[in-house]
Structure 1
Amino acid sequence: MAGAGNPYMRGLFAPVREETTAYELAVTGRIPEELDGRYVRNGPNPLGVDDPAAYHWFSGDGMLHGLRLRGGRAEWYRSRWVRSDAMALRLGEKILHGPRHLDMDFAPNTHVTRFAGRLLALVEGGALPYELDADLETVGPFDFAGTLPGGLAAHTTVDPDTDELHCVAYCWAWPYVQYLVAGTDGRIRRRVDIPVDGRPMMHDFSLTERHVLLYDLPVVFNPGGVGVGPSFPYVWEPGRPARLGVLPREGAASDVRWLEIDPCFVFHPMNAYETEDGSGLITVHLVRYDRLFTKGRTGPDGSPPALERWTVDLRAGRVRRERVDDRPVELPRVDPRRLTLPHRYGYAVLESGAADVRVAHFPGIERVGAGLVKYDLERGTSEVRRFAPQGGVGEAVFVPAGPDTAEDDGWLMAYVFDPDRDATDLVVLDARDFSGEPVARVHLPVRVPVGFHGAWIPDRE
């Protein structure tokens, strides 16, 4: 595919052109025996683009990249496109058919999660998630047994206490914002319609033990856009108020408390929790942009992202901001057992905007993962683990060593590009020895393009 003028069509972002299956992959180091399951990451990988120069990175067909670990071995690596109807036709395969929302037909490209025994590929904007089998083959679109009122969301949170799934769904075509809760039976049991003005992009949300945080910010869908594809622009809307909504989990739409904040955009919160001292404060760590989508139409642009701590004071009706790190970071994660609860540690990708990271090898790409950062939020310290200067470090997923181990007792997994091989490794780090040598490097036979989010899917939970 020609796309010399579009940075998201070349270098580390360039799509791969075929699916790959490989068995018994080579490993440097030792894969911990406790790692029994699959690491799966989703991301855009268009099979065909009519106008590469106008290609919008967020609109690429979703491709899953999965690695099966068992018994200290890397049994297989698979890359698979999600088979929407359009993708199946392009591949010359039988159309799976299934439910749709507003006739949207899109291969989800943003995240992957397991819920109620199903592996789901996720995307935002009103499209349905797609179910996958254990080998990453597409089962078909999934509507929660007919109970999903519209689309789902790119980001969901499974409450570690109840095992229920929570999300904030929105739709660009028929504007709505919905807080949804799915029970462990895989059916939507709760829906709250949240009135908002216009078409805000609400990529993620935050969940605490008692509240839902809603990010209504100045990035919106351009009404001139016609849908998922090259003409699918996000824009910064000057003058649009920025506000944080606080909804009690069991509250109605009228119970949302809206708090004004400075204009900004938030793609990804790290975690949120209620302060334990009885003050009624909510603490949320998140990655904040001063402005975003102000220039280009092919991918994110704007101010560098930075990790902040917001303290939400409902009694005073205000949000206090504190900068945690001035370095450009994104894709924050925590131990999944600490979601909605106080946590000490967090992890993020260090982006290539850092002054000592060289990206001249891929001109035009401003933000490529160049390393990982581990935060000790209790002590206010951090460690950095750098990789090749060309970048190519993906989101780090934390995997606990066991169900009852300490918060930092486990491993971090991330796809990391190896320029010497022109291919990607799955790097496994000991979270307690963050700066040390990786526990293991699994050598994939191909490059995994820069993508979005992943998950560890254990065989036993």
Structure 2
Amino acid sequence: MAACSYTCQVNYCCSQKPVIPKFKDLGASVSFNLKPFLTNLEHFSLLMDVPKVILKETIFKLLDNFVDLTFEFVDQPLSPSQSNFAPVEEIGEAVRVTIVQGKIPDDFPEGVYIRNGSNPLFGGLKSTKSIFGKSSHLWVEGEGMLHALYFTKEKGNKWNILYKNKYVETDTFNMEKNLKKPGFIPNIEGDSLAVLVASLLNVMRFGVLHKYISNTNVFEHSKKYYSIAENHMPQEINIQTLETLGNWTVNGAWSQPFTAHPKKIPDTGELVTMGINPLKPYLQLGVISTDGKQMVHKVDVKLNRCIICHEIGVTKRYNVILDFPLTIDLNRLIIGEQLIKYDKDGYARIGIMPHYGDANSIKWFEIEPCCVFHIINCFEDNDEQRIYQEDLLNLEG
């Protein structure tokens, strides 16, 4: 069976003038400012002999009521070019495809074609209005939905084609589904104060800044299938029923963002992945065993900035890392500037490292400032090993 998908996600935050002080670290500032409040609540619960579970439920309900009273969720309009991202409903059981335009080749292989894409949960992608201003998502940020076509042959070489769709049920998807209404406040772009308040409320209510949308790709490893968007770890799926089986953490070895386009090492079948973070370590690289049961290599690439790196290149012996001047700055979220910035005067480079190398083994090639999201191909020709070793000797000398 083959698994394929097409979609790409990039997040931006609109430019606004600063309206509140700049903090060095959003996560640290949130923790620092909420710590006295949470400590007092815990102390109060002990005095009142109230179980912590009940206290948490009460706090959540209070915050939920505050959001209901303060924020108005409205559908974001879609332009004609974005109409393919309008939501569709889950259809339940698989249905037979009876109309086919054109002809399916006789030698077409039996199996599954699967597509993953954005599909907002509650009627449309939401933006919000509140006393703090407006905030919204990017138009590609709806929850992930899998669309599968199953091709089997009946007697007489007649094709039997079934179609089925189903949401990828991530942790945050289930949170909102249980609420039966929009819960996460969009915080990708909008008025700076509204974006900040939305981020704080999402953390206080759900424990995370953003939803885990899982709407970018489907990949296979060790005969298992995974749905992924690079802001979270993958979700294993049942390729026949499209049920979500849970987060794939490689037996606890990986619990961070996971590239939407991992690559297999030719010959060995090991899987190379990476994860970008807004805080250090900015980029980590991992090699997963052929059977998918363990992380056989994990390393901090030790970049000095957080970059937008959508995928990684892989050849028989090397990993290809893209370091371009499209960067994330959490401070910009606080002061209302663009969260993601392209610096035309910044540096750009391509890094080549052995599969099991570290930051010191990377050979960097400086190039003109630019930005690349997808790598068409990576391959070795003749004497790359000799050139690579000579360059390392020159650097050490």
TM tier, smaller:
0.5 to 0.7
Return the letter of the residue paired with 1:133: N
Question: 2: distance between equivalents of 1:223 and 1:119?
Answer: 33
Distance 1:226 1:171 in 2: 15
SS of equivalent to 1:69: strand
Q: Distance between the aligned counterparts of 1:162 and 1:279, measured in 2? A: 19
Structure ranking higher on relative contact order (CA contacts 8 Å, 6+ apart): 2
Q: 1:57 to 1:232 in 2, by over 3 A?
A: farther
Correspondent of 2:318 among 207, 211, 216 = 211
Q: Mind listing any 5+ residue stretches in structure 1 that lack a counterpart? A: 95-99, 283-311, 318-461
Of 106, 118, 121, which aligns to 2:227? 121
1:272 to 2:272 alignment: no
Residues 419-458 of structure 1 aligned to structure 2 (within 5 Å) = none
Pick one of 85, 107, 116 that aligns with 1:42. Answer: 116
Q: Are the aligned partners of 1:101 and 1:151 in contact in 2 as well (CA < 8 Å)?
A: no
1:131 to 233, 236, 239: 236
- TM-aligned CA distance change 1:202 to 1:25, over 3 Å: same
Counterpart contact for 1:221–1:235, Cα < 8 Å: yes
Asked if 1 retains the 8 angstrom alpha-carbon contact of 2:141 and 2:213, the reply is no
Alignment deviations for residues 401-435 of structure 1 (CA, whole Å, 9 cap, x no partner): xxxxxxxxxxxxxxxxxxxxxxxxxxxxxxxxxxx
Q: CA RMSD in A?
A: 3.5
Give the direction of change, closer, same or farther, for the CA distance of 1:313–1:255 in structure 2 (3 Å limit): closer
Change (3 A) 1:279 1:154: closer
How do 1:353-368 residues align onto structure 2 when only pairs under 5 Å count?
Answer: none
Specify the SS of the correspondent of 1:155: coil
3-state secondary structure, aligned to 2:213:
coil
**110-119 or 48-57: bigger deviation:** 48-57
Check 1:112–1:281 CA distance in 2 against 1; reply closer, same or farther (3 A cut): farther
User: Relative to 1, partners in 2 of residues 1:50 and 1:224: Cα closer, same or farther, differing over 3 Å?
Assistant: farther
Q: What is the rounded CA distance, in whole Å, between the counterparts of 1:44 and 1:313 in structure 2?
A: 44
1:91/1:250 CA distance change after superposition, 3 Å: closer
Structure 1 residues 105, 189: CA separation in 2 closer, same or farther (over 3 Å shift)? Answer: farther
Match of 1:64 in 2: 146
Per-residue CA distance 1:243-289 (angstroms, 9 max, x = gap): 1111122322101111111011111111111113x36599xxxxxxx
Amino acid at match of 1:24: R
Unaligned runs of 5+ in 2: 1-73, 129-134, 181-205
Distance 1:225 1:36, change over 3 A: farther
Contact 2:173 2:211 (8 Å CA) reproduced = no
Q: What is the aligned counterpart of 1:54 among 136, 146, 159?
A: 136
8 Å CA contact retained: 2:278, 2:329: no
Q: Deviations over 1:145-186 (max 9, x none)?
A: 112253321111122411111122212355421121110231
Distance 2:210 2:280 in 1: 12
Structure 1: which amino acid aligns with 2:174? Answer: A
* Larger helix proportion of the pair: 2
How far residue 236 of structure 1 moved from its aligned partner, in angstroms, is 1.3
Question: Does the 8 A contact of 1:20 with 1:77 survive in 2?
Answer: no
Residues 210 and 101 of structure 1, relative CA distance in 2, 3 Å threshold? farther
Quick one: which of 66, 83, 107 aligns to 2:169? 83
Contact kept? 1:225, 1:233, Cα under 8 Å: yes
Cα offset, 1:234, TM superposition: 2.9
**Counterparts of 1:59-458 in structure 2 under 5 Å?**
59-71=141-153, 73-92=159-178, 105-125=211-231, 127-134=232-239, 135-148=241-254, 150-172=256-278, 175-186=281-292, 187-224=294-331, 233-276=339-382, 278=383
Q: TM-score, normalised by structure 2?
A: 0.61
How far is 1:197 from its partner? Answer: 1.7
Structure 2 Cα separation of the partners of residues 148 and 47 of structure 1: 28
* Offset of residue 20 of structure 1: 5.8
With over 3 angstroms needed to count, the CA separation of the structure-2 counterparts of 1:172 and 1:67, relative to structure 1, is farther
For the 8 Å contact 2:313–2:320, the answer to whether it is kept is yes
CA contact (8 A) 1:8 1:57 kept: no
221 and 45 in structure 1: CA distance in 2 versus 1, 3 angstrom threshold: farther
Among 9, 13, 17, which residue is 2:85 paired with? Answer: 13
> How has the CA–CA distance of structure 1 residues 55 and 93 changed in structure 2, closer, same or farther, with 3 Å as cutoff?
closer
What is the distance in 2 between the residues matched to 1:152 and 1:10?
26
Q: Is the 8 A contact 1:164 1:184 kept in 2?
A: yes
Conserved? CA contact 2:320–2:351, under 8 Å: yes
1:387 aligns to what?
none
**In structure 2, distance between residues paired with 1:189 and 1:313:** 24
Amino acid at match of 1:30: I
* CA spacing shift, 1:151–1:14, aligned 2, 3 Å: same
Q: 1 CA distance for matches of 2:339 and 2:214?
A: 17
Q: Secondary structure of 1:273's partner?
A: coil
Q: Taking structure 1 as the reference length, what is the TM-score of the superposition?
A: 0.53
Partner of 1:204, secondary structure, is coil
Equivalent in the alignment of 2:75: 2
- Alignment match of 2:97 (pick from 9, 17, 25): 25
- Is the radius of gyration larger for structure 1 or structure 2? 2
SS at match of 1:11: helix
Give the superposition deviation at 1:239. Answer: 2.5
Where is the strand percentage greater, Structure 1 or Structure 2?
1
